[in-house]
Amino acid sequence: AAQTIHSDHACMLIEKCIDHYFENACSTDDNDEFIGWDRVKSCLDVDNVNHAEIIYRASVRGALHTLYAEALLLSQQQNKDGSLLVVRLLDWTNRITDLSSDDEHKLVLLWAKVVELIIEQLSVGAEQTLISQQLSGLVESIKVLGEEKSSQGFLGSIGLGKRSRLTPRFRVVCRSIALFLSAQIPCDGLLRLTPGEPSALPHNRNVNAVKPSSTLMNAASSLKSLRLNKQYAEFHSNIEWVTQFIYNPDNSLPQFPEFISSLVSRIYSNDYLSLKIIIDYEKYKELH
């Protein structure tokens, strides 16, 4: 019990230190140099007998910056099985049920990392059926956070769930990511991996359209419905851009790094999250 309490305090202290580090990053003119995670990773990359317990407590407490730093460390290990890391990250993200508006943007980092790793797995021949199941599960967890009201439990099922504490811009991001990923799974076990592959979304060149899944149709209507809500008036142009990008048949799953980079730069302008993902995308382009 004492070790658990110690690890709990340790993981939250680490989280606060990372938060403070990036708060300072936003206030400096040299963001590109300061924003890197190397210093953060070095603090976690130690031979500590409590390391595993600290990471476990971070997943329980929703210390998302700490989890993201751990994901970066694990993904750099030469002998690490990428498929196992995907499963681990999905487990972390699925545990996040009590997210606050102060921490919501951190979850986008983990989602981006999960999809990046999934794309890497596909490039080395991972089974599409398994990957499509993982992506579908991720979509469902993202959709829940994009809801106006909770749909959990009896009250949620009849439309009387608690109103979301999360910000409108985060809900736009949730619904946008959910729609993009749903559009890359035109049917069970099949993924869109190259431009022009069959899509369930209508567009001028959609000659090989497949019947849209209920998940895809729900994601599309969920995002489009925001344009009728005054609460999202400032995001109308962002929603239009998202729709155009996703409906473009030239954009498939490998274009996700470009999509998430552009999305956060539009919605999280002047925010370290935008800088972080944009910098990651520039590195991704150099490697691909």
Among 93-107, 117-131, 132-146, 188-202, the least confident range: 188-202
Provide the mean pLDDT of the chain: 80
Closest CA to 116 of 273, 263, 241, 258: 258
| pLDDT on residue 131 | 93
| pLDDT on residue 52 | 83
35/41: higher pLDDT:
41
Contact criterion met (CB below 8 Å) for 35 and 25: yes
Contact criterion met (CB below 8 Å) for 192 and 183: yes
Instruction: Supply the pTM of this predicted model.
Output: 0.86
Three-class SS state of 92: helix
189/246: higher pLDDT:
246
| pLDDT on residue 1 | 42
d(Cα 86, Cα 235) in Å, to the nearest integer? 31
Sequence-distant (≥ 6) Cβ neighbours of residue 145 within 8 angstroms: 99, 104, 107, 164, 166, 170, 171, 174
d(Cα 236, Cα 280) in Å, to the nearest integer? 26
| pLDDT on residue 122 | 93
| pLDDT on residue 151 | 58
172/4: higher pLDDT:
172
Could you tell me the two tokens for 213?
A: 């899944």
For 159-216, what is each residue's pLDDT tens digit? 555 778 899 999 999 999 999 999 998 877 789 999 888 776 766 455 456 677 777 8
